[in-house]
Amino acid sequence: MNEIKDVAREDRCPGISYTDMLNGDTRRPPDYLFEESTIAMGDEPLSVAPYISEEWARAEREKMWPNVWLFAAREDEMPDPGDTVVFDIAGKSFLLIRQKDGSVKAFYNACLHRGRKLRTEGGPSVQLRCPFHGFTWRNDGSLKEIPCAWDFRHLEGKDMSLPQARVELWQGFVMLTENHALPDFKTWLGPAASHYERYDFANRYTGMWVQKKIPANWKATAEAFMEAWHSITTHPQLLAFLGDANTRYDLIGDHFNRAITPSGVLSPHVKGKNSDYVLEKMNEFSGGQDARTNRRFTASEDPVEGYDPADPLGARKILAEAGRKGFAEQYGYDYSDASDTEILDNFTYNIFPNFAPWIGFLPTLVYRWLPGDTPDWCIMEIRLLFPTPKGQERPRAVAMTYIPDDEPFAWANDIMGPQLANVFDQDMANLPFVQTGMKAMKDGLMELGHYQDSRVRHFQTTLKKYIDGELPAVK
């Protein structure tokens, strides 16, 4: 693998690094959080064509989308036999059905008679009956009935089972590909697949789920979440307790990269403040308490032995201990061995092409970006996955809420929480002008940062491999 270990510090923001913070943690973090890697990709400008060109979008539909593993559903959306989910992407539609043996099958969502979609939305299914003429299949995809069978004698003896896409279940995610020759999902993804095992994702449930149409290309929208240094102008309210420019960016293989942004520390852009200031501002941001743990962030109420406000990691120690106690009370598990970083930090893991499932012990974000029928819009989906409380049955996923096109994320404040909704609205305020601005560029070339934009370049490099036919490399 063409990885370079121990990236030179001159490529980093001056000051304490994320790896330095790991070394100051009160518990030993997992080894995979210490691993730093990058891939040499050069610093040439990137063309805006992939974001604005219909020709490029057509190439993605033909060469990329059918040949990658895609996040199609969560198992908690379809826990019972007969439960169905409709997954639409890039002009294709798939019908996922939970089988009697607990497996999941994915059928191309089209009647073999005249092509009508068998279902337009999920829900329980006893059988699959086409609403047009009544052709009927069983939930396992086998043909059950052809109305007016006397007129279809030419089909006797022909396999009329519904064609299937390939499905694998991984950590509670239902993964789908049209390419039956791809390696299994964990092999395709690589080492990062094992990073999820510590956090029992298979036993988590979707407790918050929204979708919104974004007037920007799916890649431009996804890339807005691939770096954290935009916070200085886009999210200034976070700088008091977010190490935006301290973020570490790791590139591994073709299909995975990550950004790890530390929380509970001052941004390098904030000077002359201490850990008491971090705690104060985090209290203000969260309304006096953390909604995830229902605990206040104060040194006096959550004392940590040896707390020193002059220690740049002092607030992290307070916040992490509050999180351990709060999570234990809320979910019933023992978090005493959980490292500070696993309790606090933002692990923006991206799985190529459009899937970002975070890790950590706190309720974790999952992003998915779905392309529109033109390059100028997409759907962004945001979920929060919550641990199932100890001793309880995993709840069924909450229903997805679609935010009206003319409304901001703040329309869903009661679902998302006002602080989270505001952060996404700040991000979305940029994206329409990114899309139109790219079209206005004289030379159509973007100049990226060497380190902080490295995930964007890595993502575009992998995408180009698919468009150029270098991937998938299957035997």
Confidence grade of residue 293 (pLDDT, cut at 50, 70, 90)? very low
β-sheet bridge partners, residue 71: 175
- CATH 3.90.380.10 domain position(s) in the chain: 196-467
| pLDDT tens track for 127-143 | 999 999 999 999 999 99
Tell me phi and psi for residue 279, to 5 degrees. Answer: -65, -40
Dihedral sign, Cα of residue 333, residue 336, residue 340, residue 341: negative
Please check the confidence at residue 458 and state whether its pLDDT lies above 90.
yes
CA distance 362 to 2: 33
> Is pLDDT at 3 greater than 60 in this prediction?
no
Q: What is the pLDDT of residues 310-349, one digit of tens each?
A: 999 999 999 999 999 999 999 999 999 999 999 999 999 9
- All residues at 6 or more sequence positions from 108 whose CB lies less than 8 Å from its CB, including other chains: 92, 93, 94, 95, 162, 163, 164, 165
pLDDT at 299: 47
Render pLDDT for 64-100 as a digit per residue (tens, 0 to 9).
999 999 999 999 999 999 999 999 999 999 999 999 9
Query: Which pLDDT band holds residue 9 (cuts at 50, 70, 90)?
Result: low
The pLDDT score that the predictor gives to residue 8 is: 43
Q: What is the β-pairing status of strands 204-214 and 401-403?
A: parallel
Predicted confidence at residue 300, as pLDDT, reads 46
Closest to 428 in 3D by CA, of 242, 291, 230: 230
Confidence of residue 378 (pLDDT cuts 50, 70, 90): very high
Chain segment 356-369, per-residue pLDDT in tens: 999 999 999 999 99
pTM, 2 dp = 0.94
Within the chain, all domains assigned CATH 2.102.10.10 are found at: 69-177
| Residue range 40-64, pLDDT digits in tens | 999 999 999 999 999 999 999 999 9
Level-2 CATH architecture, domain 196-467: Alpha-Beta Complex (3.90)
User: Among 3.20.20.70, 3.60.15.10, 2.102.10.10, 3.90.1150.10, what is the CATH number of 69-177?
Assistant: 2.102.10.10
